[in-house]
Homo-oligomer: A and B are copies of this chain.
Amino acid sequence: MAHATNPQAEEILDKEFKCLNAGFVRLVDYMGGDESIIQAARVSYGKGTKSVNEDRILLRYLMRHLHTTPFEMVELKFHVKLPIFVARQWIRHRTANVNELSGRYSIMKDEFYLPSPEVVKRQSVRNKQGRAEDNVPLELQQKVLNMLLEDQRHTYERYEELLKDEIARELARINLPLSLYTEWYWKIDLHNLLHFLHLRMDKHAQFEIRIYAETMGEIVKRVAPMAWEAFEDYVFYGERFSKTELKAIADNLDTQKITKEYLEKYNLKGLEADEFLEKLKKLKS
């Protein structure tokens, strides 16, 4: 059991996955995988657990019923290079371990985030926090990029000048912009990582952090493929409805056809099908 490694994961270990214009995500190390989730869940059952004999069914049961602690038994460590404004959103997830490049100790490198032209967008009117979907005129795109680039160059020259004057690094860096790249080691357990990915792969997350989240999703898929599948089914592509929404659905839902046999064509079987039928029954009552 110990040091079980997953060939799919080993293949990409230490490989840099490019993100944005100059960033990356790299899986540095990991501990465990689907089998350690199962192993941890099984300790709860002790003897007499013979009936729960299929790993995938058990793992899906855990995900479905929010039995989240077994997923904490898998640990992943990443090396990430990312713009500071992305780092500021990322660090809000407090359950991880972090070691970041320090501008007090080190001279920051001349690397800045510059968006691709096609992601330069106007402020959304509907969505107070995001970008509109429409493209902006090419010349506006270009103007924005030029302005950003020009200022990044200027700021870095100023930083270099302050360093040449031997001004303390911790002071010289204060006018560096949020688009500057930083780096960190970031270590987190799988349960908390999936929660992070749920929020940061969401369409409301800022485009730039979404790129990183999607890349990490691909990595998780290799480290714990069954957990990832369950996450996609139940959490990421699942949907939550409020009490009121459920009423409106129930009043317009024809449940007559929905039997255990019927559900087989959706590949819903066994306990999972039973639980679904029970949810529908409760809905209609």
Binding site for B on A (CB under 8 A): 1-3, 5, 13-14, 27-32, 36, 39-41, 43-49, 51, 64-66, 69-70, 72-73, 75, 77, 79, 83-85, 87-88, 91-92, 94-95, 97-109, 113, 115, 120-124, 128-132, 136, 140, 143-144, 147-148, 151-152, 154-155, 158, 161-162, 165-171, 173-179, 183-185, 187, 189, 199, 204, 206, 232-234, 237-249, 252-255, 257-258, 262-263, 266-268, 276, 279, 283
Contacts and interface: CB of A to CB of B under 8 A. Distances in A.
A45 B268 contact: no
Given A104-B130, A283-B239, A14 B29 contact: no
A174 B43 contact: no
A218 to B, nearest CB: 17
Copies of this chain, how many?
Answer: 4
Given A174-B179, A241-B238, A77 B85 contact: no
A-B interface, 9 closest residue pairs, ranked by CB to CB distance from nearest: A46-B106, A72-B97, A237-B243, A31-B31, A94-B94, A131-B168, A40-B99, A174-B179, A175-B177
A130 B47 contact: no
B48 A107 contact: yes
Q: Is the interface of A mostly helix, strand, loop or mixed?
A: mixed
A15 B199 CA distance: 36
B179 A100 contact: no
A247 to B, nearest CB: 6
Nearest to A169: B123
A44 B106 contact: yes
A189 B75 CA distance: 10
Tell me which of A46, A92, A176, A232 has the highest count of chain B C-beta atoms within 10 A of its own C-beta: A46
Given A48-B106, A85-B173, A245-B276, 9 more contacts: A3-B13, A32-B77, A43-B100, A44-B100, A72-B187, A87-B88, A94-B95, A123-B168, A124-B168
6 contacts: A2-B14, A45-B128, A46-B183, A47-B106, A65-B204, A121-B168
Nearest to A274: B126
A14 to B, nearest CB: 5
